[in-house]
């Protein structure tokens, strides 16, 4: 059975070429083929005054040609093939995820507004693709931290919600760390200070000890990590339990990390569409490092 490829989505922009380089490196580490995908949104061929010329073949597409020239003469490349597809990128790119083990995109392409931190096609792929999606930001993005980054010295940072952990997210983070010979830092945030609401006449709730909440969060996180530590004994993993805003802690951690890994919301009965949580969206918008968004593991029968 053939190995599923790593897909790099390109449109000729500098952002997509940075994503291509990231995808090349990851495909080598995974010993997987690389598929360079170009989605052509506007069909300029076949206009009434020119006759049914048909779309250009992949070898004649200028963006594919640019990538071919960029790769020419390089050694140690994985097997590379090219696909030039037609349609709306926000719809076509997620479909490619059904036959890929990973998809990599730049944070913005040629079609977006320059003021946007994240392009609509990158967002759609991260939200809808069946495979994990890595979004590579522009270099020099400021995560806004002025302290030692929480991810300093750690190749892979992964966010864990102890109330609803997802095994697929942790498995992806540990595998990436193993491929890179890197350590994992798990960021487990808990809400603090806790917000309590009382109706008139109600007795105030008993005081909650912050130390107890932190301890319980750590115990839960360590329990979720146990099978992954056993599966990857070569990977050093530590848990950082932090109070307050999970997105802020993860964005801060991104300054010292090679990759931040987050999960995507699981479909629910009353919300059957694919969704991304607010934490994942915020990290995609502001992280200084590449961000991987991992679809949830399928529910057990």
Q: Is the pLDDT of residue 267 over 80?
A: no
Q: Is the pLDDT of residue 41 over 80?
A: no
Mean pLDDT of 211-228: 94
Statement to judge: residues 186 and 290 lie in one domain: yes
Q: Please give the tally of structural domains in the chain.
A: 2
CA dist., res. 8 & res. 16, Å (int): 8
Element (H, E) at 144: none
Statement to judge: residues 23 and 122 lie in one domain: yes
Statement to judge: residues 166 and 110 lie in one domain: no
CA dist., res. 188 & res. 129, Å (int): 26
pTM of the model: 0.84
Average pLDDT taken over every residue of the chain:
83
CA dist., res. 81 & res. 105, Å (int): 17
> What is the extent of the structural domain holding 259?
156-198+208-294
Q: What is the CATH number for 217?
A: 3.40.50.12370
In a domain, 146, yes or no: no
The three-class DSSP label of residue 294 is strand
Q: What is the predicted pLDDT for the residue at 53?
A: 53
Statement to judge: residues 177 and 258 lie in one domain: yes
pLDDT, greater one: 184 or 152:
184
Q: pLDDT digit string (tens) for 92-149?
A: 999 999 999 999 999 875 554 444 456 788 889 999 999 999 999 988 766 555 455 4
pLDDT, greater one: 132 or 194:
132
Statement to judge: residues 167 and 254 lie in one domain: yes
Statement to judge: residues 216 and 100 lie in one domain: no
In a domain, 299, yes or no: no
Q: Is the pLDDT of residue 268 over 50?
A: no
**Cβ pair 186, 160 in contact under 8 A:** yes
SS3 content of the chain, % helix, strand, coil (to 5): 35, 20, 45
Statement to judge: residues 191 and 286 lie in one domain: yes
Beta strand pairing call for 80-86 and 156-159: unpaired
In a domain, 203, yes or no: no
Q: What is the predicted pLDDT for the residue at 164?
A: 82
Q: Is the pLDDT of residue 48 over 60?
A: no
């Amino acid at each position: 059975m053939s190995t599923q490829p790593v897909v790099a989505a390109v449109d000729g922009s500098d952002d997509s070429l940075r994503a291509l380089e990231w995808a090349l490196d990851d495909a080598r580490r995974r010993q997987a083929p690389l598929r360079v995908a170009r989605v052509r949104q506007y069909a300029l061929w076949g206009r009434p005054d020119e006759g049914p010329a048909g779309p250009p073949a992949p070898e004649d597409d200028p963006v594919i040609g640019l990538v071919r020239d960029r790769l020419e003469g390089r050694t140690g490349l994985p097997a590379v093939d090219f696909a030039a597809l037609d349609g709306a990128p926000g719809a076509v790119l997620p479909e490619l995820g059904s036959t890929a083990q990973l998809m990599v995109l730049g944070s913005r392409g040629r079609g977006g507004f320059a003021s946007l931190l994240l392009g609509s096609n990158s967002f759609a792929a991260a939200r809808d693709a069946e495979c994990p999606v890595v979004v590579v930001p522009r270099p020099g993005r400021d995560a806004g931290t002025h302290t030692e980054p929480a991810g300093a010295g750690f190749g892979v940072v992964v966010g864990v919600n102890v109330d609803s952990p997802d095994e697929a997210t942790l498995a992806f983070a540990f595998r990436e760390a193993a491929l890179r010979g890197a350590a994992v830092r798990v960021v487990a945030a808990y809400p603090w200070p806790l917000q309590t609401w009382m109706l008139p006449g109600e007795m105030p709730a008993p005081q909650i000890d912050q130390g107890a909440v932190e301890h319980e969060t750590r115990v839960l996180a360590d329990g979720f990590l146990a099978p992954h530590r056993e599966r990857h004994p070569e990977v050093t993993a530590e848990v950082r339990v932090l109070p307050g805003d999970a997105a802020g802690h993860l964005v801060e951690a991104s300054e010292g990390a090679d990759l931040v890994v987050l999960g995507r919301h699981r479909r629910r009965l009353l919300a059957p569409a694919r969704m991304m949580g607010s934490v994942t969206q915020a990290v995609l918008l502001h992280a200084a490092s590449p961000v991987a968004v991992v679809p949830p593991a399928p529910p057990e029968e």
